[in-house]
Amino acid sequence: MASVQLEAVRLTKRFGDRTAVDGLSFTARQGEVVGLLGPNGSGKTTTIRLLTTVLAPTSGEFSVAGVPCTRPGEIRRRIGVLPESSGYPGHQTGEEYLRYHARLFGHGRPDAVRAAERLLAEVGLAERGSSRISTYSRGMRQRLGIARALVNDPAVVFLDEPTLGLDPAGQRQMLAIVREIAAGRGATVILSTHTLPDVEEICTSVLILHKGKILVSGTFGEVTRAVPTQQYAQMRVPIELVGRARQALAGVADLMTEPADERPDILRISLNGRPAADQGGTDTGMNAALRAVLSADVPVLSFEVEGARLSDAFLAMTGEGVR
């Protein structure tokens, strides 16, 4: 089993009479990508500031790569951070920027040059290393920020909204880089994001915060099973018979239908108010939907039960969307 690289024990932070982080306890192992989720005010930002030693805890403790929080200077040498908002010196080139940060971490001049070249290649900026940062797109700046976060070969990397504001191609490129940080480098990644599909795609585990406390933590499957959520299925029928299928489904109790995104021949069916954990009820409801449509002489071209969705579990637990 991979070693624990990040551990928090009853971590708490108070500002006056307000508790921003309340007794957080969790571990993250080498090579894991941990998704940190929560609505505004849930304590995500404060948690990251505590774990990156920007803030000192009111009580509790944490360690990074075995280094206790009582040694913040040493922890800072073992972590990399990409904040949500980063300022970059536009007059510098990407190479100059990374060489400067490599020197700050003790690299000699030749080593700093080699480190900058290697990191630029790792994040796909090798051909733009000699360009001024002022000419970089937002996606390029985000990748440069990740390169800077890796300059000290950290054990734990904190990424705050790394895909925010990127187009789909930029998002895919960024997620590939995050995946390589964990799988290739063996670093632990703490990913704070509002984009649930990102979490579902690359995270190995999830922490959901609400009002400073951990509501649930675990793998994607463990989190979605921790709370009753609706079960969904997609039914595809001949497009000219969609109306008849919808009429047939309207006569089935506890079912709701809605069109699937951009597919007029697919009906998305949900069990109204029945939890996915109630497998007996789910199977009965879905079978009733199939029987009703087939009895109306509508051929069912395909029928697929969807997996549980993180967004449904999140809404059920917090009563709020991710913002």
| Closest CA relative to residue 73, chosen from 86, 56, 85, 58 | 56
| Amino acid residing at 268 | R
pLDDT digit string (tens) for the chain, length 323 residues:
789 999 999 999 999 999 999 999 999 999 999 999 888 888 999 999 999 999 999 999 999 999 999 999 999 999 999 987 778 999 999 999 999 999 999 999 999 999 999 999 999 999 999 999 999 999 999 999 999 999 999 999 999 988 888 888 889 999 999 999 999 999 999 999 878 888 888 999 999 898 999 988 888 778 777 666 667 788 999 999 999 999 999 888 778 887 776 788 999 888 654 443 344 444 567 788 899 999 999 999 998 877 666 766 776 666 655 54
The pLDDT value recorded for residue 285 is: 72
The pLDDT value recorded for residue 219 is: 82
Residue 69: other Cβ atoms inside 10 A = 19
Residue with tokens 């990508």: 33
Residue 227 DSSP SS3: coil
Annotate 100-156 with DSSP letters as a single string.
HHHHHTT--HHHHHHHHHHHHHHTT-GGGTTSBGGG--HHHHHHHHHHHHTTT--SE
Domain ranges of the chain: 4-88+136-225, 232-307
**Interacting residues of 188 by C-beta distance below 8 A, sequence separation 6+:** 5, 6, 28, 29, 30, 31, 32, 34, 155, 156, 157, 182
Q: CA angle 241-245-250, nearest 5°?
A: 150
Radius of gyration of the chain from its Cα atoms, rounded to whole angstroms: 24
DSSP state of 274: E
Class for domain 4-88+136-225, per CATH? Answer: alpha beta
Please state, in angstroms and rounded to a whole number, the distance separating the CA atoms of residues 303 and 290.
Answer: 9
Which of the following CATH numbers is that of domain 232-307: 2.30.30, 1.25.40, 3.30.70, 2.40.160? 3.30.70
The pLDDT value recorded for residue 282 is: 47
Please state, in angstroms and rounded to a whole number, the distance separating the CA atoms of residues 72 and 74.
Answer: 5
